[in-house]
Amino acid sequence: MSKHKAFSLPIRVYFQDTDAGGVVYHASYVNFMERARTEWLRTLGYSNAGLMREFGVVFVVRSLRLDYFKPALLDDLLEVTAQIKDTGRSRLTLLQNVRRGDEVLTEGEVHLVCVSVENFKPVSVPEVLRKQWKI
C-alpha cells in the first residue's frame, strides 16, 4: 500500500461516455482517469499548462494497465482516484480506481514520464513537485 494519500474526483457518467445500451465504453475509463490525474495535479498548485510554461515539462503516459470488474452505467456517480505508488528521477507510477459507492469497477496502474516539451526526452521531475510528493 502506498504511503501517499489518494486523491478522489467525482465524475458523472453522461451519454457521450456510453454505448447505446447505457454501458460505459472501456476507453471512457482512460478519460476518467486522465481527468482525475489532471485535477490531482491542480491540488498541488500546478496545471499541465503551468508545468509547460514554468518548467518546460509535461507528464506523458508511458504505459497503463487496466482491469475491468463491473460496468459503470449511464448517470452513475463515480469516484475516480489517483494515488502515488512509486517514483523515480523522471517517472511516476500511479494507482487509479473507478468506484461506484463501495464497488471497485476498474483498477489501473499508470506509468508516467516527465519529459521536456522541446524534445520529449525524459527529464527530472521538478523539485517543487518532488518535495510535495516527499520523494
Catalytically active residues, by annotation: 19
Q: Where are the beta strands (DSSP E) in the chain?
A: 7-12, 57-68, 77-87, 91-100, 103-116
The DSSP secondary structure of 19-56, one letter per residue, reads -TTSBBPHHHHHHHHHHHHHHHHHHTT--HHHHHHHHS
Rounded to whole angstroms, the Cα distance separating 17 from 27 reads 9
* CA dist list (Å): 75 to 22, 36, 69: 9, 18, 18
Q: Are 38 and 46 in contact (CB under 8 A)?
A: no
Residue with cell 463501495: 102
